């Protein structure tokens, strides 16, 4: 017959009880208004960072296209011939 003292000596029992305690604490903490406000603030900051990164990428893309067009569309000063047509390659996001 298994006795309570033998169960309390087993490491798996303590790990299970610790998991139950951590789970109960997590439910209490994550259910609080402060945790919700923190999560919302973190999500808002992440969305702002994403928007800033997209704006920077768009600016870099436009600058690169301008440089590409200038390089291949501007005729040489020494040559009076028409400049060769260059096709601008679109960069997909």
List the one residue out of 57, 84, 55 whose CA is nearest residue 69.
84
Residue 51 in tokens: 């928007």
**Domain region containing 25:** 14-70
pLDDT band (50, 70, 90) for residue 12: confident
| 47 domain residue, yes or no | yes
| 24 domain residue, yes or no | yes
Give the Cα separation of 13 and 4 in Å (integer). Answer: 11
Number of domains, the chain? 1
| 93 domain residue, yes or no | no
| 29 domain residue, yes or no | yes
Give the Cα separation of 36 and 40 in Å (integer). Answer: 6
| 33 domain residue, yes or no | yes
| 76 domain residue, yes or no | no
Contact 50, 42 (CB under 8 A): no
pTM above 0.85, yes or no: no
| 23 domain residue, yes or no | yes
What does the DSSP assignment read for 7-21? HHH-HHHHHHHHHHH
- Would you say residue 79 has pLDDT above 60? no
Residue 56 in tokens: 């920077």
| 35 domain residue, yes or no | yes
- Would you say residue 32 has pLDDT above 80? yes
């Amino acid at each position: 017959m298994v006795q309570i003292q033998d169960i309390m000596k087993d490491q798996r029992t303590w790990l299970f009880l610790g998991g139950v305690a951590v789970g109960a604490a997590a439910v209490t903490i994550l259910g609080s208004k402060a945790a919700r406000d923190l999560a919302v603030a973190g999500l808002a900051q992440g969305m702002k960072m994403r928007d800033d990164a997209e704006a920077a990428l768009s600016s870099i893309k436009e600058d690169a296209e301008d440089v590409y067009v200038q390089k291949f569309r501007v005729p040489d000063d020494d040559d009076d011939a028409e400049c060769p047509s260059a096709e601008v390659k679109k960069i997909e996001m």
